[in-house]
Amino acid sequence: MRSCVIIPARFKSTRFPGKPLAKILKKEMIIWVAELSAIAVGKANVYIATDDFKISDKVKEYGFNSIMTDSELITGTDRVAQAALSLDYDLFVNVQGDEPLIDPDDILKSIKLKKEFPSHIINSFCFINEHEDPSNKNIPKVITSENNDLIYISRAIIPNSKNNNMENIRYKKQVCIYSYFKEELIEFLEFGRKSYLENIEDIEILRFFEFNKKIKMFETKKSSLAVDVPSDIEKVEKELNKKTPDK
């Protein structure tokens, strides 16, 4: 199967306008994500789906493909779906543009699992670390069955304990790497609106439940550190400096 990565990138983010072009160690965040994706699938198979020419022009400077999409699309997955309509691939990986620490091996694992579980949407998670607050609503929490099928994902603290015995709970958070087939993306796009739960939680993968799609989760090789707000930039730079102290 031919696979590609599509990175949705919207300039007018509610919590962080201009986020894709925010500098991380003097390089735009969208470029960090694109370069890591290229390690997994090759540069020619990485596409940035955007509605803004500032983003499109910047990624082209670095030699990446850009696809212009409608500005009124309501989620990143809708943007990926519209971009996929013009591409000839069997399998599409959606990598969020605010995940500058993703591991290329996790992209490859997402592709591998989609081939093994073709009737499932593939998504990933990691465990929340001791420096993160599970009550932070910017962090979608994940609960899965014992075979790693998604049960629910929420901005609330889940799972929870009737007896308030929270000490032994290891919370999982979503990592935004997804794999789908084109027909699944088309179904998502043609739904035309956010589903009831998706609208409440503002978590787009919940829309797939309306199509009775199972979602297979896998644990990423390392913890994720997504950029939700400007203050997250410093945290990411500290992590990158641990790996590249000369920069």
Model confidence pLDDT, tens digit, residues 52-83 = 999 999 999 999 999 999 999 999 999 999 99
- Separation CA 214–CA 229 (nearest Å): 31
pLDDT, residue 236, reads: 82
pLDDT per residue over 73-124, tens digit each?
999 999 999 999 999 999 999 999 888 889 999 999 999 999 999 999 999 9
Whether the pLDDT of residue 47 is over 90: the answer is yes
Residue 247: its pLDDT value, please?
A: 41
| Complete DSSP assignment for 86-151 | T---SEEEEE-TT-TT--HHHHHHHHHHHHHSTTEEEEEEEE--TTS-TT-TTS-EEEE-TT-BEE
Question: How does DSSP assign the chain, residue by residue?
Answer: --EEEEEEE-S--SSSTTGGG-EETTEEHHHHHHHHHHHHH-GGGEEEEES-HHHHHHHHHTT-EEEE--TT--SHHHHHHHHHTT---SEEEEE-TT-TT--HHHHHHHHHHHHHSTTEEEEEEEE--TTS-TT-TTS-EEEE-TT-BEEEEESS--S--TT---TT---EEEEEEEEE-HHHHHHHHHH-S--HHHHHHT-GGGGGGGGT-EEEEEE-SS------STTHHHHHHHHHHHH-TT-
Least confident of 53-57, 129-133, 190-194, 239-243: 239-243
Sign, Cα dihedral of 142, 125, 176, 122:
negative
pLDDT at residue 128 in the model: 92
Architecture of the domain whose range is 3-231: Alpha-Beta Complex (3.90)
- Contact yes or no for 174/123 (Cβ under 8 A): yes
Q: Note whether 239 and 101 are within 8 A (CB).
A: yes
Each residue's pLDDT tens digit, 121-148 = 999 999 998 888 999 998 999 999 999 9
Where exactly are the structural domains of the chain? 3-231
pLDDT one-digit tens code per residue, 196-225: 999 999 999 999 999 999 999 999 987 767
Per-residue confidence (pLDDT) for residue 211, from 0 to 100: 95
> Cα–Cα distance between 89 and 218 in angstroms, integer?
23
What backbone torsions phi and psi does residue 55 show, to the nearest 5 degrees?
-70, -45
